Amino acid sequence: MTIYSEIDSNKRRTWVMIFGFFVFIIALGWVFGRVYNEPLILVAAVIFATVQALVSYYRSAEIVLAVSGAHPVSEQQDPDLYHILENLSITAGTPMPRLYMIEDTAPNAFATGRDPEHAVIVVTRGLREKLTRTELEGVVAHELSHVRNYDIRLMTVVVVLVGVVALLSDWFLRWSFWGGGGRRRRSGGGGQGEVILLVIALVLAIMAPIAAVLIQLAISRRREYLADASGALLTRYPEGLASALEKISADKEPLEAANKATAHLYIDNPLKEHHGALNSLFSTHPPVAERIKRLRSML
């Protein structure tokens, strides 16, 4: 495996998942609309979910920084770390993100911001002190790759799609159990084919939100692999990030500033929760061992 083939593979799989997600939502909206003869159900759900996501999209960086207790880092305060980010940004051909630090001894990092012009990279004090320079470069390159690959924007789109599925399912179930079925019967529905379609719609309404979340998490894991490969391409040294991931995952100290709402942003689970094989389906990050294996196969 080469770095380039890993990048191409992850990009291709991401867009296949996104396309499949769109098809899934259109099919869901068609079934629900057909059952109640309301074709505007899908349109209303898309508009509502999009408005909610846009508000979060434009304010998310400030909210996350405040919740995490991060503070800005200037060139004078930490010239080495500042220059690592500056040099990698030049190599990547992107504007240099703002640099922030969380005063916590647990090693970790994350990126946020809606685009490269408004990006922020945050590292913890523990990451700064426990990693070597090459390991630190690997982590910063990984987070910069999230910015460069517009992962925040992509995941915002995915959140909208998940929101649409949740709204469609919720509305359908509410209409079914609080009078929608009666209105439908009065309109003349009730043939065998219509009953079968209603049963299918009810099953979809219950299962679709779970399926949507699984797709969202699968896309998130795919973007982590992509950021690993893109970061390795920036530094031309995959071992730096591989070694950093080993140290970060081996450190048992949970990050006090993190919570379940922000944990998905970090390069590794900051809550230090361990999951079995089944629960890995519900993880935002791939297993660290697999990430390290892929990075070292690029050497």
pLDDT at 159: 79
How far apart, in whole angstroms, are the C-alpha atoms of residue 284 and residue 275? 12
Per the CB < 8 A criterion, the answer to whether 107 and 60 are in contact is no
Lowest mean pLDDT among 69-73, 103-107, 214-218: 214-218
pLDDT at 282: 76
Pairing of strands 109-112, 120-124: antiparallel
Nearest-5° Cα angle at 140, 231 to 226: 30
> Is 86 marked active-site?
no
Query: pLDDT tier at 164 (50, 70, 90 boundaries)?
Result: confident
- Quote the number of domains for the chain: 1
Query: pLDDT tier at 278 (50, 70, 90 boundaries)?
Result: low
Query: pLDDT tier at 122 (50, 70, 90 boundaries)?
Result: very high
Calculate mean pLDDT across residues 40-68: 77
Average pLDDT of the residues of the chain: 85
Nearest Cα neighbor of 259 from 248, 270, 247 is 270
Q: Which has more confidence, 261 or 226?
A: 226
Calculate mean pLDDT across residues 7-26: 82
Lowest mean pLDDT among 73-87, 104-118, 154-168, 215-229: 154-168
Structure tokens at 273: 């929760």
Structure tokens at 35: 């059952």
pLDDT at 135 over 90: yes
Calculate mean pLDDT across residues 184-205: 71
Instruction: Examine residue 106 and state whether it is found in any structural domain, yes or no.
Output: yes
Check which CATH number belongs to the domain holding 81 and give it.
3.30.2010.10
Calculate mean pLDDT across residues 34-61: 74
pLDDT at 298: 87
Per the CB < 8 A criterion, the answer to whether 266 and 259 are in contact is no
Instruction: Examine residue 224 and state whether it is found in any structural domain, yes or no.
Output: yes
**DSSP-assigned states of every residue in 100-146:** EEE--SS--EEEE-SSGGG-EEEEEHHHHHHS-HHHHHHHHHHHHHH
SS3 235: helix
Q: Where is mean pLDDT largest: 36-45, 183-192, 234-243, 280-289?
A: 234-243
Query: pLDDT tier at 179 (50, 70, 90 boundaries)?
Result: low
Global pTM? 0.83
Instruction: Examine residue 221 and state whether it is found in any structural domain, yes or no.
Output: yes
Tens digit of pLDDT for each residue in 199-244?
Answer: 888 888 899 999 888 888 988 899 999 999 999 999 999 999 999 9
Q: Where is mean pLDDT largest: 20-24, 43-47, 156-160, 237-241?
A: 237-241
How far apart, in whole angstroms, are the C-alpha atoms of residue 258 and residue 165? 28
Lowest mean pLDDT among 26-30, 162-166, 192-196, 267-271: 192-196
Lowest mean pLDDT among 107-111, 130-134, 164-168: 164-168
Q: What distances in angstroms separate CA 10 from CA 145, 220, 267, 286, 293, one per listed residue?
A: 13, 11, 17, 13, 16
Compute CA 241 distance to the chain's CA centroid, rounded to the nearest angstrom.
Answer: 20
288: Cβ contacts below 8 Å, ≥ 6 apart: 245, 246, 248, 249, 268
Tens digit of pLDDT for each residue in 55-67?
Answer: 766 777 888 899 8
Nearest Cα neighbor of 286 from 142, 132, 138, 115 is 142
Question: Per the residue annotation, which of 38, 135, 143, 224 is the catalytic one?
Answer: 143
How far apart, in whole angstroms, are the C-alpha atoms of residue 186 and residue 39? 18
Instruction: Examine residue 190 and state whether it is found in any structural domain, yes or no.
Output: no
Burial pattern 66-98, b for ≥16 Cβ within 10 A else e, equals eebebeebeeeebeebbebbeebbeebebebbb
Per the CB < 8 A criterion, the answer to whether 72 and 98 are in contact is yes
Question: How many CA atoms does the CB half-sphere of 157 hold within 13 Å?
Answer: 12
Instruction: Examine residue 171 and state whether it is found in any structural domain, yes or no.
Output: no
Residue found under tokens 């079914």 = 176
H/E segment holding residue 98: strand 98-102
Query: pLDDT tier at 83 (50, 70, 90 boundaries)?
Result: very high
Instruction: Examine residue 40 and state whether it is found in any structural domain, yes or no.
Output: no
Instruction: Examine residue 58 and state whether it is found in any structural domain, yes or no.
Output: yes
pLDDT at 73: 97
pLDDT at 186: 47
Look up the domain containing 229 and give its range. Answer: 45-165+207-297
Instruction: Examine residue 39 and state whether it is found in any structural domain, yes or no.
Output: no
Mutual angle of helices 79-92 and 133-148, in 10-degree steps: 40
